[in-house]
Structure 1
Amino acid sequence: MSFYRPLSPLEATYIATDKPDYTPFCNQFFLEGEGTLDLDAWTIASEKAAIANPGIRLQLKGRWGWRYWDDEGPLPTVRKVNTDWDGTSSENTPDIFKPFDARNSPNAEIILIESSNASPRILFRTHHAITDGMGMLHWMDECFRALNNEPLKGSKGINNEWDIIKQHEAPERTLFEGNCASLSPTSKKPELRYCRWHRCDWPTDGKQILAKLVLSASIIAKKHNNGGRTLFRIPSDLRWYQGKGADFTLANASGAFDLETNEESTISSIQQAVRNGMRSKADLSVFPSNLYLANWLPKAMMNTKSETLKNIHASGLYRMTATVSYVGERDPGKLSDKNFTGKSLYGIPIALENRGLFMAITNTKDTLSVTLGIPKALATAEELIALGEELHETFNSL
């Protein structure tokens, strides 16, 4: 066993949500393309990437506040499956979304998916407790560098979000979650559990994407508003606080801006609010000063009980209206090797039942990919498709 880095308080909260049958806090990216997927080549490349980036092969050790990540865990799993599933939604998914066990199994995996009626796809998955979205994208890049026999960049940094926050003075927090409207009518089946997702691809010019999506969601939420606020959480990457010379860290290093909208909100005002938040380091303030206690609390105290979730859905008021997670413009063509050419990239939303919506967003120069995740209690598969269409129409009208 080899101590690699401490478990951060935020990572402790992620692990606390783990269920025997699924892992809510799970990073997942699909890469679609053309060509063939060589299992042997991918297995070798995955091993090379894991050696250069030990943060991808972590396993949890220790107990309570003395828990830590060991970097001598098993290599990421690499497997190949054949399925007729088209990958556009969570409906009729094959049995590939296995739960992670932070202590007893690999916490990262690569699934090569071939189909008789769809393009080949590669699914990259990690437990969110070992890395965040930007760390995940770094790992994906490293795998393709290995496939192409290019030098790997590696990652020697071990700082997590808590380490970074302690190095800076965060501003006083002014916005708090709670009593937020969703983009859907109040649930008629509040007892339903878990989430579903649906992928939407729209043409784009690449401009004002984040602000337009927030404003579009705000407009739709106002239609179903039963007295709730419209509050949005926008995840951010805290790595830039470490300076240009710092080693890249695979550890969770994400903060977030909380942004509340009203009837007077515009694209410009939302953009300005984000800029102001960056200048004031507001993305450091979303973590309460007592978050460190999460390392010591029993799992049951950090989990939302089914009865509580039922009451949330029945009230129509959520912790926040939506999380809007945007990883920026990406060129899937760079994720290619001699056998496979990447054509499109999209993320799967984190499965959170205490907020009205989760948008996982990326884009190329001409296509915007928005994957919508929503509690099953709030929308059927058909209603989620309709919500995607309404969001697209509203987005285009701005």
Structure 2
Amino acid sequence: MDVQLCVEGEGGIDPEALRAAVATASQACPGARLVRRGQRWVDGGIVPAVRVADAADFDRARLDSPLLRTPLTGEKSPSCEVVLVQGSPTTVVFRANHGVMDGGGAMLWQTQVFRALRGEPVEGAASPLTLEEVMERIADRLGIELPPRAAPSPLTWRSPLGNAPKGPRRSLWRRRTIDGAHPAATARIVRRVATHGPAQGPVLVPVDLRRYLPGLRTTGMVSGAVKLGVREDDDWTDVHAELLRALGEHRYLANRNDPYPMSMPLPLLRSLYRWIDGMAVQNPDFLRDRGYADTAACISHLGTVDLAALGTAAFEATSCYALGGVGFSPELAIVECQGRTEVTVAWRDGRGAADRVEALLDEIEDELSPRAYRVPAGEGARPTAPPCTLQALLAEQVARTPDAVAIEGADGALTYAELDRRAGAVAAALHARGIGRGDLVGLVAGRSAAAITALWGVLKAGAAYLPIDESHPDARIVRLLADARARICLLEPPAERRACLPPGCAGLSLADMPYDEPHAWQDMPGEPTDLAYVVYTSGSTGAPKGVEVEHRSVVNFVRWATRECGIDASTRMLLIPSISFDVAGYAFFLPLLAGGCVLPVREVNAATLRAAVEDGGATAMAVTPSHLELIAQSGVRRSTMRVVMAAGELLRRSTALRARDALGQQCRILNQWGPSEAAIVNTSHEFDPVADTDAGVPFGRPMDGNALYVLDARGRFVAPGELGEAYVGGVQVARGYRGRPDLTRERFVRLADGTRVYRTGDLVRRLPGGELTFVGRVDDQVKVAGHRIEPAEIAQTVEEHPLVRQAAVLPRTRPGAAPALCAYVVGDPGVTPDELRGFVAERLPRNMVPAAIVPVPEIPRTPNGKLDAARLPDPFAGVPADGTAGEGLDEVAAAVAGIWSRTLRLDAGLLDERADFHQLGGDSLLLLSMVREVSRTVVGRGEQEFMDELVRIVREPTLGRVSDVAREVRDRRPAGLTE
């Protein structure tokens, strides 16, 4: 049998560089150079070969290639080799005889090869210890005796040697990529295989023994194994508990080699195995029926792979998976990498084998990621119309209504014909300066008719526009234009007189455009996949990043939003957001492509917003909830508003109610959601004051052409009702970040089925009716003892106090301590922080009560209307942690918390009874270590009773549950029994 690890990725690897790296790594890892001399493996000093093939030599769908079937015997052929399959994707296969390396050893070897490829020093793995010697050292370390070797296998005595088939073994490999990393994946898969798989019976689980000898660095075959029997009525928690017991009882040391077969002459041994193999091909149940194999499968979990360690400057690894050897039973291999779980099956090919393996993989995928969770919100939406460009849609509208008013502002009104002529003048001026399809043009302006005309001129020239608010400081404008590599920037007075252009970017004044001169401009032809605009956003990285949005994405938004929002020729839409905020796109596109009118609001404050709503005859507006709150509190007395689109942040029910009262019952309030990276917004929900009773208004379902997936922090699809991060898919997903391929790869990812999605960073919850509600931001999240804390929920609670007008809650870092919550409050001077803290404590769990409450005169906002956290004071600056977290634990729980602290290497003071061992980073072996320590030091002589309660702990691995079990077992001891 051979071990085969496949590293798949994008980019190329030079074959000669790979050969040199294999030589370097194999010098430090001599286990890769072993050859067979009689009954022994010795260092032959021969560098493993690198074979190069092209994509035609490797069937990726079937994982089939003659290159993977060549046996590595270590006699006349090598014991290890590397296969480089060039193409897209590029695949590097590390192959080794299983007698030379196990999966852990092959992982170590491949990592060193990539270190050498990157020019980094390799880390040796030269230990010559054999499996038997490793087991002896582990037994000595544990102070136990090794069990005796097993008796000679019946296989040795009962197998006739005649009729052995000739030729290589007929193997079958299949692979399934599953979203997410799944705790207890081995136990879950064991149960599926043992009870519903292609073969039933006990399952063998290899155990990498390197973990039990810290510092051991060997590529050798040093794996033990435990055998798990599974009953029909067992669930995965029963299997997981049994696996932990097997590890705790060191059953992996019982898998010692039977010396008898190894003493047989090699030709005889090979003939024996060829005969068995051939009979198994003819009849998959042959081995078990005759007692030659007593396990249903072998299931190996090879751990988590850091793909960054398997790349170079020219090659980026995207996945790693294992193709196991085919022994007497099916072999399954599990590898976790990049938020996914790779599961592969190796089995003998034969009648119906492929169908049985695919059925097994279906069951395994459904076990780890239930099919019902994988169905995206938005599936079944009506099909989208054929894509086109924005300038084509405007040309059609101009032809329909040339004399209708398109823009009405302080400087007068423009008809559609005038808008088209002026935009054509801008396009002609840009074309004269060499601007055309594929170029990006900066636009520094305010909310004005000139700005709207200019951006349409850029689109008519076939280029894309970069909108920048004129209120931005010069330094920021320079930074954005330079980062975007814009060669031309359109400037609205007074920006044309400012020092805001970087070298290589020429300014062009909108005031000097020859709007009234005749021209015969014809729009440049384009494609739906052309770039329409770039909008810069900030984020957790701290550096602004330019989102590249294509025409097809905006056109899809326009089509469904026009219908959903009731936009038509009678629409008069206010332009309120900054032009640099993508929400301004509502006004740029929706009314102008439906025959309506745009009403720019030059200055945005309570007075101007009130006047715009009352006196302008506006029927629609798109605003942030912060702006909507400002309008609602501005004293509006009359309104012709028919629809409000709220987007950009959480819309609270209290804000929606106040807005409804101010704007009138005839006004629909639509809560719409979506990131800039997916063309403005993607979902919609009409506020219903009767049905929408939660603090936050739902944001609905994805609209046409959009899909939304909800995944947890481990990349797993969550059940309906659970909290998770929103991933957006569909036609509106942006091209990526301009000039940032690294960040694009990080945020624009693919699900296991290949679907391209954007990770929004927004935390959402799917409601029972299928709609979604916004909860908070991943990057604003605070974790206390493994629990996610959503600041928005706390802010809503603080605002329920009658003397509080507005509140914001943010995580702040305390020196030497975990992040803590800080509430900023605008309210009556008579309300004190202590009073507010008590008010919140009566309504929320203790770990959601802010550590600090700071009165402020106002909550600062960015030009886009979002919370400006940088302008709020940090109450923890220079102040040590208060040390209050973790109080309230009794003696037993405190002792358990101390053990968790040592096991997981975290602050015990941050733990409470709801802390979850897995959420805090614990795996199965750490869980076993923790349970044994609790049974030894907290329970005392009730150790075995405590270990018998493993199933309860596995099902709910919280500090409270472990403490409860410890108390129960300790209290069951006979009276008078002491520790």
- TM-score bucket of the superposed structures, by smaller chain: 0.7 to 0.9
Alignment of 1:90-105 (within 5 A): 90-91=63-64, 93-95=65-67, 97-105=69-77
> More deviation in 106-115 or 340-349?
106-115
1:135 to 89, 94, 105: 105
1:298 to 235, 245, 265: 265
Q: Is the 8 A contact 1:327 1:362 kept in 2?
A: yes
Q: Is the 8 A contact 2:195 2:230 kept in 1?
A: no
User: Are 1:26 and 2:2 counterparts?
Assistant: yes
The equivalent of 2:294 in structure 1 is 319
Aligned residue pairs: how many? 342
User: Are 1:211 and 2:187 counterparts?
Assistant: yes
The equivalent of 2:44 in structure 1 is 72
Q: Distance in 2 between matches of 1:162 and 1:139?
A: 21
The equivalent of 1:234 in structure 2 is 205
Q: Is the 8 A contact 2:182 2:368 kept in 1?
A: no
1:89 to 59, 62, 65: 62
1:286 to 255, 260, 273: 255
The equivalent of 1:194 in structure 2 is 170
Deviation, 1:265, is: 1.6
Q: Distance in 2 between matches of 1:161 and 1:151?
A: 28
The equivalent of 2:361 in structure 1 is 388
The equivalent of 1:344 in structure 2 is 319
Code of the residue aligned with 2:18 in structure 1: it is W
Q: Distance in 2 between matches of 1:394 and 1:96?
A: 30
- TM-score, normalised to structure 2, is 0.33
User: What is the SS of the residue equivalent to 1:149?
Assistant: coil
Q: Is the 8 A contact 1:171 1:280 kept in 2?
A: no
User: What is the SS of the residue equivalent to 1:265?
Assistant: coil
Structure 1 residues 53 and 277: alpha-carbon distance in aligned structure 2, compared to 1, 3 A threshold: same
1:121 to 77, 91, 115: 91
Code of the residue aligned with 2:99 in structure 1: it is A
1:110 to 82, 97, 117: 82
Deviation, 1:311, is: 6.3
Deviation, 1:312, is: 6.2
User: What is the SS of the residue equivalent to 1:287?
Assistant: coil
The equivalent of 1:59 in structure 2 is 35
Deviation, 1:104, is: 2.7
The equivalent of 2:339 in structure 1 is 366
The equivalent of 2:579 in structure 1 is none
Q: Distance in 2 between matches of 1:315 and 1:96?
A: 24
Structure 1 residues 313 and 267: alpha-carbon distance in aligned structure 2, compared to 1, 3 A threshold: closer
Deviation, 1:281, is: 1.0
Code of the residue aligned with 1:323 in structure 2: it is C
Code of the residue aligned with 1:153 in structure 2: it is E
Q: Is the 8 A contact 1:110 1:125 kept in 2?
A: yes
Q: Is the 8 A contact 1:158 1:250 kept in 2?
A: no
Deviations 1:68-119 (A, max 9, x none): 332133111012211233423244x25453222312332211111113xx41
Deviations 1:357-389 (A, max 9, x none): 211111125211111122223634344323322
The equivalent of 2:862 in structure 1 is none
Q: Distance in 2 between matches of 1:380 and 1:275?
A: 32
Q: Distance in 1 between matches of 2:193 and 2:369?
A: 12
Code of the residue aligned with 1:297 in structure 2: it is M
Q: Distance in 2 between matches of 1:316 and 1:292?
A: 23
Q: Distance in 2 between matches of 1:293 and 1:316?
A: 21
The equivalent of 1:145 in structure 2 is 115
The equivalent of 2:643 in structure 1 is none
Deviation, 1:148, is: 1.3
Structure 1 residues 315 and 344: alpha-carbon distance in aligned structure 2, compared to 1, 3 A threshold: closer
Deviation, 1:28, is: 0.3
User: What is the SS of the residue equivalent to 2:53?
Assistant: strand
Q: Distance in 1 between matches of 2:235 and 2:351?
A: 27
User: What is the SS of the residue equivalent to 1:144?
Assistant: helix
Q: Is the 8 A contact 1:313 1:378 kept in 2?
A: no
User: What is the SS of the residue equivalent to 2:202?
Assistant: strand
User: What is the SS of the residue equivalent to 1:197?
Assistant: strand
The equivalent of 1:158 in structure 2 is 128
The equivalent of 1:277 in structure 2 is 246
Deviation, 1:313, is: 2.4
The equivalent of 2:441 in structure 1 is none
User: What is the SS of the residue equivalent to 1:389?
Assistant: helix
Q: Distance in 1 between matches of 2:263 and 2:286?
A: 32
Code of the residue aligned with 2:53 in structure 1: it is V
Larger Rg: 2
Deviation, 1:213, is: 0.9
Q: Distance in 2 between matches of 1:164 and 1:104?
A: 29
Q: Distance in 1 between matches of 2:269 and 2:75?
A: 20
Structure 1 residues 158 and 319: alpha-carbon distance in aligned structure 2, compared to 1, 3 A threshold: same
Q: Is the 8 A contact 2:201 2:294 kept in 1?
A: no
1:264 to 233, 242, 264: 233
Deviations 1:217-239 (A, max 9, x none): 23314xx78xxx62000001122
Q: Distance in 2 between matches of 1:395 and 1:316?
A: 28
Q: Is the 8 A contact 2:178 2:369 kept in 1?
A: no
Q: Is the 8 A contact 1:81 1:111 kept in 2?
A: yes
Q: Distance in 2 between matches of 1:119 and 1:268?
A: 38
The equivalent of 2:893 in structure 1 is none
Code of the residue aligned with 1:198 in structure 2: it is R
Q: Distance in 2 between matches of 1:351 and 1:358?
A: 7
The equivalent of 1:328 in structure 2 is 303
Greater RCO, 1 or 2 (C-alpha within 8 Å, sep 6+): 1
> More deviation in 301-310 or 322-331?
301-310
The equivalent of 2:24 in structure 1 is 48
User: Are 1:170 and 2:146 counterparts?
Assistant: yes
Consecutive unaligned residues in structure 2, runs of 5 or more: 140-144, 155-168, 372-979
Aligned residues: percent identity?
Answer: 24
Q: Distance in 2 between matches of 1:328 and 1:360?
A: 10
2:220 to 231, 241, 251: 251
User: What is the SS of the residue equivalent to 1:261?
Assistant: coil
Consecutive unaligned residues in structure 1, runs of 5 or more: 1-24, 179-192
Q: Is the 8 A contact 2:203 2:299 kept in 1?
A: yes
User: What is the SS of the residue equivalent to 1:230?
Assistant: coil
Structure 1 residues 209 and 253: alpha-carbon distance in aligned structure 2, compared to 1, 3 A threshold: same
Code of the residue aligned with 1:218 in structure 2: it is A
Q: Distance in 1 between matches of 2:351 and 2:211?
A: 37
Code of the residue aligned with 2:51 in structure 1: it is R
Q: Distance in 1 between matches of 2:351 and 2:98?
A: 24
Structure 1 residues 316 and 277: alpha-carbon distance in aligned structure 2, compared to 1, 3 A threshold: closer
Q: Distance in 1 between matches of 2:5 and 2:344?
A: 11
Code of the residue aligned with 2:130 in structure 1: it is N
